[in-house]
Chains A and B, each alone.
Chain A
Amino acid sequence: MAALPDLITVEQFDKIPDDGQRYELHYGEVVPRGCPKQKYYNLQERLVDLLETRLARSWEVGFEFPYRALKEFEFRCADVAVVSEARWAATDPEDNLHGAPELVIEVKSPSITKGELVELASLCLANGSLQFWIVDLDRGSVTVIHGNGKTSVFGAGQSIPLTAFGGETLPVDEIFG
């Protein structure tokens, strides 16, 4: 085994010169991240709009949302995220959210494997997320992973309960409509 590389800290990651590419920090390793294609971008925007209209003002909804799931060696960007207003207000403007947003939504794309999604879900759910959603554009489905590890899949004609966030429901057809 060759020598292990240094782990990159968040501070070092912040200082990486901007080369026009997007990166995340995964377990101390800098990982390139592509820009979303139009269809994914549109879906992200739609999800933000849908959630903003369904959730109370006490939630911050955003896309391409940066957060630090762990105190160190982790810096990710959620496709869509929902954070309580209290946590959002308490976040240092010169830093990013510590811990994972209460809701993290990732749109399934060829660049992320099932294993990576499961790994990210467990990381988020162990560090502040109430739910982790995976939106599959090809199948027209949303997989919801709960804090207790259970997984529910919602398809056409079904609605996703938003009770964990003080809301009512989100019909799947509106996401893919």
Chain B
Amino acid sequence: MATLPDLITVERFRNMPDDGCKYELRRGEVVPVGYPKKRHYRRQRRLVKLLEARQARLPRSWEVGMEFAYRPLPEFEFRCADVAALTEARWDATDEDDNPRGAPELVIEIKSPSNTKRELAKLASLCLANGSREFWVVDLDRVSVTVMHRDGTTSVFRAGQIIPLSAFGGDELPVDEVFG
């Protein structure tokens, strides 16, 4: 086995020179991540709008964002969710010069060729063990949304079905609106 490399800390990651590429910090390793293609980007925007539109019917205020940076673990991890929802209280409590600690209450990833099933399952477990109530995987090809719950169970929602938002205080999101 060759010598192991140093693990990259969040501080070192943040101090990397900007070369115009996007990176995440995964398990102490800097990993390049691509920019979303148009259909991926449009779906992100749509999800943000749909979730924001439901804010008024939810009992708590939520910060909903795309390309949402967060730190699921105290160190060696810095990720960017395709879409995320975080309680306004946690958002307000986040240091302006830092990023949310722990995973957002809702993390949504849109399936892309760069995300393997195994990598998504790992990220889901990391998020669900560190603050997320649900982890969604949106599959544009299959027109489905897989919802992974805190108890590890998985539900798949397809056209004509409705995703309950009960973990976030109520309301629901029709799958057809996500892909409409």
Q: Which residues of A contact B (CB under 8 A)?
A: 1-9, 12, 27-29, 70-74, 108, 114, 117-119, 121-123, 125-127, 134, 136, 139, 143, 145, 147-151, 153
Chain B facing A: main interface SS: loop
Contact assessment for A1 and B3 in the assembled complex, using a CB-CB cutoff below 8 Å: no
Contact assessment for A143 and B129 in the assembled complex, using a CB-CB cutoff below 8 Å: no
Closest to A124 in B: B76
Known contacts A71-B129, A118-B27; is A27 also within 8 Å of B142 by CB? no
Q: Is B122 an interface residue (CB 8 A)?
A: yes
Contact assessment for B4 and A6 in the assembled complex, using a CB-CB cutoff below 8 Å: no
Q: Which of B7, B8, B12, B128 contacts A73 (CB 8 A)?
A: B128
B111 contacts across to A, CB distance below 8 A: 1
Chain A facing B: main interface SS: loop
Q: Which of A73, A114, A127 contacts B4 (CB 8 A)?
A: A114
Q: Is B67 an interface residue (CB 8 A)?
A: no
From residue A141, how far is it (CB to closest CB) to chain B in Å?
9
Q: Which of A1, A6, A70, A123 contacts B152 (CB 8 A)?
A: A6
In B143-163, the 8 Å CB interface with A consists of 146, 148, 150-154, 156
A9 contacts across to B, CB distance below 8 A: 151-152
Contact assessment for B137 and A4 in the assembled complex, using a CB-CB cutoff below 8 Å: yes
A-B contact pairs, 24 of them (CB 8 A): A1-B139, A1-B142, A4-B137, A4-B146, A4-B154, A6-B152, A6-B154, A7-B121, A8-B152, A9-B151, A29-B121, A70-B125, A114-B1, A117-B4, A118-B28, A121-B28, A125-B28, A125-B75, A126-B77, A145-B4, A147-B75, A148-B9, A149-B9, A149-B12
Contact assessment for A6 and B153 in the assembled complex, using a CB-CB cutoff below 8 Å: yes
Q: Is B42 an interface residue (CB 8 A)?
A: no
Known contacts A1-B111, A4-B117, A4-B146; is A70 also within 8 Å of B126 by CB? yes
Contact assessment for A126 and B73 in the assembled complex, using a CB-CB cutoff below 8 Å: yes
Contact assessment for B27 and A149 in the assembled complex, using a CB-CB cutoff below 8 Å: no
A71 contacts across to B, CB distance below 8 A: 129-130
Give the size range of B's interface with the partner: 35 or more
A-B contact count (CB 8 A): 119
Q: Which of A7, A8, A114, A149 contacts B28 (CB 8 A)?
A: A149
B75 contacts across to A, CB distance below 8 A: 122, 125-126, 147, 149
Contact assessment for A12 and B152 in the assembled complex, using a CB-CB cutoff below 8 Å: yes
Q: Which of B7, B122, B126 contacts A118 (CB 8 A)?
A: B7
Contact assessment for A73 and B125 in the assembled complex, using a CB-CB cutoff below 8 Å: yes
A152 to B177, CA, bound (A): 53
A3 to B158, CA, bound (A): 12
Q: Is B175 an interface residue (CB 8 A)?
A: no
Known contacts A3-B156, A8-B152, A73-B128; is A125 also within 8 Å of B76 by CB? yes
